[in-house]
Amino acid sequence: MKNFLHFGFSLFFLGLFFISCDDNDNYDTIESVEKIKIDSVKVINDTMDVFSVQSIKTYSTYSSHCEGFYGYDYVHSDNLIRTVTAYKYTTSGPCTQSTYTSANQINFSPQQVGTYTFKFWNGGNNWITRTIVVQ
């Protein structure tokens, strides 16, 4: 009986190996990642409590459906200053050339009292600035 269990487990793991080695990829490959300007920012509350959480939404426009949101570069340049840059990916797959706007968010949870300044990259040397007072 013990040998039968060992044989069964061996077949099970061998089957997992062959399934995980399947090269049938049905997804597009990311070709590049680059900055995308943030067109607008929505801050629900300009005041909040320390240790609470607030979602800050950003909106960017993409030129085709081969592009999408990749992530943020969120930098603390000071205890109370944050600079945010959004990045997009471009895939290699077939796509439609129609522009669309996408919303993404940052969850902000301040750890100290103060007036926080957020600077969102809007292209070139332009920034959208928002202030949140934390009590």
Give the C-alpha separation, 77 to 83, whole Å: 7
Q: Is residue 2 part of a domain?
A: no
Q: Which domain holds residue 105?
A: 28-134
Domain count along the chain: 1
pLDDT at 5: 47
Q: Is residue 20 part of a domain?
A: no
Q: Could you tell me if residue 18 is inside a domain?
A: no
- Does any domain span residue 105? yes
Average pLDDT value over all residues in the chain = 87
**Which pLDDT score is estimated for 8?**
52
What confidence category does residue 10 fall into, taking pLDDT thresholds of 50, 70 and 90? low
Q: What pTM does this model have?
A: 0.78
CATH number at residue 55: 2.60.40
Structure confidence by residue, pLDDT tens digits, 47-80:
999 999 999 999 999 999 899 999 999 999 888 9
In a domain, 4, yes or no: no
Looking at the domain assignment, is residue 110 inside a domain? yes
